[in-house]
């Protein structure tokens, strides 16, 4: 009995000691975060890039006016906090968004940050400045902005053509840093200057990217790390092995596939791995301007033939999401509820019944068991594109469509799509911000550069504007659901699935938050620290 009491006392003491230690252990300063990078980005300019290969290493160099709170996993209007702005206000019937700017902030080269820098940045993004970006992939985000005006050095206003509440969310994205006026776009591609927690040190193409702590950072006590070093390792096996061997503190975010997460956990049981949606959808682009897909019945039949669960179980071991254009809940803010989704043709759980219906449509169009429709399924020559394309071809067989895989080198993919030199294609669409304005206008509005299929429905377009101006979230949500449903029924760009990917880090890396509805916004890294 005495030994039982002694054991209990020891246990209580150890619990007390552990909890005391935990309470005492706050974030520690110092250390270099070592991470591998999946590829060598084209340059260091976030505004000229459209891949998170640029965001992840260079987002720590910058600040935005506002940003999605970095320790909240789900991006939403409620999680937006000021950064270079101290506050903001909607005025003039929600047609002007005014920011009061933080004072005393310095660029990494010592020059002061003022409202002129904000004006410069957004004038360039809108194509109104003398200096031009070599590429400007998100120009359309600012279509509703009339102009930017400054009031002194520390106040700036975005004057809109009409109310657009989502502008704030677009400004909070990792894709929307403020650039310095006095540094040219060309210099920003090779040696970016920001106001952020880390200063750029060097970028050796195909080798490494190095950042060092900004000692003059405006946020007291941040960042915790002395620096961040990215080693560029394009070979995934080598990169994962290096992480397992302890050469890196963290994997490249949302880049570890589900089977690889299992591998990592088996070889490095202490590693912490998190699987999260990436807000990247895999979808089918259909050339509806030419036969045979100019026939709406064939397009509908194709959408009915999809067994989305099969895609997810083969490619992601069951860990993926089925939804429409918008990322489905609970991680997505705007996705249709399950009950609504299942009323859309092809989304119902009875795959056999869906395919029976699809076969009837195909027979109506003149195809059947004796007369198959031969099509080419074009896709980029990258595994994340190629693998689902192969499954798609297999599924289309069930409705008398014989698909032939047409793999296209990346360099030729968009020129080919732009030429309409394809029948159907398998495509991936990433959403930087979980907001319908970003997704709808970019991918489905008439004349948009990223509307690869040239889908154009003036009625829907009007609804885009209605939802965009709606300030009541619940009302807007219902509008968005209706639009999304209609887009799926129109087979505008059938969404097959929304993927999930993993991120792993060593147990001593603290303060990591993997965002669950975007892969583009959570890499400021000023709150991250190493418990070594």
Partner 1 sequence: MFAYLVRRLFLMLVTLFGISIVIFFLLRIVPGNIVDILFAAAGYVDPADKVNLEKELGIDQPLVVQYLHWIGGFLRGDFGYSYVSEKPALQEILPRIPITARLAGLALLFSASIGIPLGVISAVKQGTKLDYALRVFSLSGLSLPSFWLGLLILTASVAMFGQMPIFNPNPQTWLEAFATYAVPAAAVGFRSAALTMRITRSSMLEVLRQDYIRTARAKGASDAAVNYHHALKNAILPVITVIGIEAAFLIGGLIVTETVFNIPGVARFLVEAIRWRDYPIVQNLVMFIAIVVVFANFTVDMLYAVFDPRIRFTD
Q: Which is nearer to partner 1, 208 or 519 (CB)?
A: 208
- Give the shortest CB-193-to-partner 1 separation in angstroms: 16
Residue 427 contacts residue 262 (beta carbons within 8 Å): no
Residue 252 CB burial class (10 angstroms; 0-12, 13-18, ≥19): buried
Examine residue 70 and tell whether it contacts partner 1 (CB under 8 A).
Answer: no
Q: Length of the chain, please?
A: 532
Identify how many contiguous H helices and E strands the chain contains and give both numbers: 16, 17
Selected binder of partner 1 within 131, 184, 267, 471 (CB under 8 A): 267
HSE toward the beta carbon, residue 470, CA cutoff 13 A: 18
Examine residue 241 and tell whether it contacts partner 1 (CB under 8 A).
Answer: yes
Selected binder of partner 1 within 204, 364, 478, 532 (CB under 8 A): 204
Reading the block at residue 125, the tokens are 């993004």
The region of 214-222, 235-243, 461-469, 514-522 touching partner 1 under the rule CB under 8 A is 235-243
Examine residue 205 and tell whether it contacts partner 1 (CB under 8 A).
Answer: yes
Residues numbered 103-142 forming contacts with partner 1, rule: CB under 8 A: 132, 134-137
Angle, alpha carbons 129-130-131 (nearest 5°): 90
Task: State CA 299 to chain mean position distance.
Answer: 28
Reading the block at residue 260, the tokens are 């690889």
How would you classify residue 345: left for phi > 0, otherwise alpha for psi between -120 and 50, otherwise beta? beta
State how far the Cα of 271 lies from the Cα of 74, in Å rounded to an integer. 23
Q: Which is nearer to partner 1, 316 or 413 (CB)?
A: 413
Q: Which is nearer to partner 1, 90 or 414 (CB)?
A: 414
Residue 114 contacts residue 120 (beta carbons within 8 Å): no
Selected binder of partner 1 within 17, 184, 235, 289 (CB under 8 A): 235
- Give the shortest CB-183-to-partner 1 separation in angstroms: 14
The region of 237-245, 269-277, 306-314, 465-473 touching partner 1 under the rule CB under 8 A is 237-245
Examine residue 446 and tell whether it contacts partner 1 (CB under 8 A).
Answer: no
Task: State CA 43 to chain mean position distance.
Answer: 19
Examine residue 250 and tell whether it contacts partner 1 (CB under 8 A).
Answer: no
- Give the shortest CB-448-to-partner 1 separation in angstroms: 9
Examine residue 71 and tell whether it contacts partner 1 (CB under 8 A).
Answer: no
Selected binder of partner 1 within 109, 394, 402, 409 (CB under 8 A): 409
DSSP letter string, 58-81: HGGG---SEEE-TT-SS--GGGEE
**Where do contacts with partner 1 occur on this chain (CB under 8 A)?**
40, 42-43, 48-51, 132, 134-137, 186, 189-190, 203-208, 231, 233-235, 237-238, 241-242, 244-247, 267, 409-415, 418, 449-450
């Amino acid at each position: 009995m005495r030994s039982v009491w002694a054991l209990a006392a020891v246990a209580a003491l150890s619990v007390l000691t552990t909890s005391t230690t935990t309470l005492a252990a706050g974030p520690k300063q110092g250390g270099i975060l070592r991470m591998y990078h999946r590829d060598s980005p084209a340059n260091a300019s976030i505004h000229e890039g459209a891949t998170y290969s640029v965001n992840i290493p260079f987002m720590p160099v910058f600040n935005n006016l506002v940003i999605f709170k970095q320790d909240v996993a789900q991006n939403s209007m409620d999680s937006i906090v000021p950064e270079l702005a101290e506050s903001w206000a909607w005025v003039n019937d929600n047609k002007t968004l005014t920011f009061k700017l933080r004072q005393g902030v310095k660029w990494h080269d010592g020059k002061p940050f003022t409202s002129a820098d904000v004006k410069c940045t957004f004038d360039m993004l809108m194509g109104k400045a003398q200096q031009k970006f070599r590429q400007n992939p998100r120009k359309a985000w600012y279509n509703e902005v009339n102009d930017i005006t400054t009031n002194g050095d520390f106040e700036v206003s975005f004057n809109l053509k009409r109310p657009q509440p989502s502008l704030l969310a677009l400004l909070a994205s990792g894709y929307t840093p403020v650039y310095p006026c006095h540094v040219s776009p060309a210099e920003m591609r090779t040696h970016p200057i920001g106001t952020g927690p880390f200063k750029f040190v060097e970028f050796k193409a195909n080798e490494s990217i190095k950042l060092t702590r900004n000692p003059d950072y405006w946020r007291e006590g941040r960042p915790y790390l002395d620096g961040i070093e990215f080693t560029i390792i394009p070979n995934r096996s080598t990169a994962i092995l290096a992480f397992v061997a302890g050469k890196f503190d963290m994997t490249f975010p949302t880049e570890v596939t589900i089977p690889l997460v299992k591998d990592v956990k088996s070889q490095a049981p202490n590693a912490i791995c998190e699987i999260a949606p990436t807000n990247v959808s895999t979808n089918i682009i259909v050339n509806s301007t030419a036969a045979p897909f100019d026939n709406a019945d064939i397009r509908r039949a194709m959408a009915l033939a999809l067994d989305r669960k099969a895609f997810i179980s083969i490619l992601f071991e069951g860990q993926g999401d089925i939804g429409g254009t918008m990322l489905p809940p609970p991680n997505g803010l705007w996705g249709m509820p399950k009950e609504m989704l299942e009323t859309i043709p092809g989304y119902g759980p009875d795959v056999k019944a869906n395919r029976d219906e699809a076969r009837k449509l195909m027979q109506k169009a003149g195809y059947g068991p004796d007369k198959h429709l031969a099509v080419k399924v074009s896709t980029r020559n990258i595994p994340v594109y190629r693998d689902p394309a192969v499954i798609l071809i297999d599924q289309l067989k069930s409705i008398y469509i014989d698909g032939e895989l047409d793999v296209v080198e990346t360099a030729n993919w968009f020129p080919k799509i732009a030429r309409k030199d394809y029948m159907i294609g398998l495509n991936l669409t990433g959403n930087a911000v979980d907001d319908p304005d970003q997704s709808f206008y970019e991918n489905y509005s008439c004349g948009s550069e990223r509307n690869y299929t040239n889908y154009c429905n003036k009625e829907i377009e009007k609804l885009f504007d209605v939802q965009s101006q709606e300030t009541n979230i619940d009302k807007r949500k219902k509008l968005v659901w209706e639009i999304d449903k209609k887009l799926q029924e129109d087979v505008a760009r059938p969404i097959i699935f929304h993927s999930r990917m993993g991120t792993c880090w060593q147990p001593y890396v603290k303060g990591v938050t993997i965002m669950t509805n975007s892969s583009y916004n959570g890499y400021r890294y000023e709150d991250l620290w190493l418990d070594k």
